[in-house]
Copies of this chain bind each other. A is one copy, B any other.
Amino acid sequence: MKTDYFSQRSSIREYDNKSIPESLIRDIIERAMRAPTCGNMQLYSVIITRDPNKKAKLSEQHFNQPAATNSDLILTICADFNRFSRWCEISGATPGYSNFHSFITALTDAVILAQQIVTIAEMEGLGTCYLGTVTYNADAISNLLELPSLVVPVASISIGYPKNIPAQVERLPIEAILHNEIYRKDSDEDIRRLYKAKEEFPENIEYVKINSKPSLASIFTDIRYPKEMNELISQKFLSLLNEKDFLPH
């Protein structure tokens, strides 16, 4: 594998107490807006949270994880069909974006923009971290940021100057994710082989031990991403999509 920024990068969860110039953030977002977007509709909005009081309240909804509380700012990237639909209306056209497919389209646009912001910010020497918790409390975050109809938060990114650069964690071998022409049918033995290095990664062995669990997989199913939690978030998130007019009534 070629050695460059892409092969060497890591997410950053510890930040220096140093402020990012407003002009740099704007420049990063403006360049990121050149990322691909469906039909050039730009179905996204970015909300910057920098004000200490607002940031404390937003961080609460991200369970006060250090990546949120210690960062200089948080960007909340939203799937947004509101602005585009309003433009249609004031132009005398009838928008038809109050449906699930339109949400998926806007979500895709928003995540593409989010990842472009991450890449440009990191190449400018900043550190970033996605806060996966954005969907857990999407309803409360939506209230905090005063999001209107057809606007739903889908990606949160904390940004700051890195305090230190952590060692990279493990990844699966490329064979695990790459398929030629059709989806390959792996045997149980194949799956075991593909996840072997992950299970033998020293930090993962330690993590299993500390938690007294029988396997690394059970760390995910029992502690980090359990079924009951996923089902609860599913219900909450579908309710929010309904409230924001993205599901047919």
Q: Which residues of A contact B (CB under 8 A)?
A: 1-2, 4, 6-9, 11, 26-27, 29-36, 38-42, 44-51, 54, 78, 80, 83-84, 86-88, 90-97, 99-102, 104-105, 107-108, 111-112, 114-116, 118-120, 129-130, 132, 135, 145-148, 151, 154-155, 168-172, 174, 176-183, 185-186, 188, 191-192, 194-195, 214-218, 220-222, 224-228, 230-231, 233-234, 237-238, 248
Do A88 and B230 touch across chains, with their CB atoms under 8 A apart?
no
On chain B, the residues within 8 Å of A41 by CB distance are 220, 225
Going nearest first, the 6 A-B pairs with the smallest beta carbon separation are A96-B227, A91-B217, A93-B217, A100-B234, A6-B31, A111-B111
On chain B, the residues within 8 Å of A99 by CB distance are 227, 230-231, 234
Do A226 and B96 touch across chains, with their CB atoms under 8 A apart?
yes
Rounded to whole angstroms, the CA-CA distance of A129 and B90 in the bound complex is 31
Rounded to whole angstroms, the CA-CA distance of A107 and B214 in the bound complex is 29
Do A195 and B54 touch across chains, with their CB atoms under 8 A apart?
no
Rounded to whole angstroms, the CA-CA distance of A119 and B238 in the bound complex is 32
Do A39 and B147 touch across chains, with their CB atoms under 8 A apart?
no
Q: Among B11, B31, B92, B178, point to the contact of A2 (Cβ < 8 A).
A: B31
Rounded to whole angstroms, the CA-CA distance of A99 and B195 in the bound complex is 23
* Residue of B whose beta carbon sits closest to that of A58: B181
Rounded to whole angstroms, the CA-CA distance of A231 and B132 in the bound complex is 29
* Known contacts A225-B39, A234-B100: A46-B217 contact under CB 8 Å: no
Q: Among B38, B130, B230, point to the contact of A36 (Cβ < 8 A).
A: B130
Rounded to whole angstroms, the CA-CA distance of A168 and B177 in the bound complex is 33
Do A181 and B49 touch across chains, with their CB atoms under 8 A apart?
yes
Do B48 and A31 touch across chains, with their CB atoms under 8 A apart?
no
On chain B, the residues within 8 Å of A32 by CB distance are 6
Do B132 and A38 touch across chains, with their CB atoms under 8 A apart?
yes
A142 to chain B, nearest CB (A): 9
Do A221 and B88 touch across chains, with their CB atoms under 8 A apart?
yes
Do A146 and B182 touch across chains, with their CB atoms under 8 A apart?
yes
Rounded to whole angstroms, the CA-CA distance of A188 and B87 in the bound complex is 8
A153 to chain B, nearest CB (A): 10
Q: Among B90, B151, B177, point to the contact of A188 (Cβ < 8 A).
A: B90
On chain B, the residues within 8 Å of A181 by CB distance are 47-51, 54
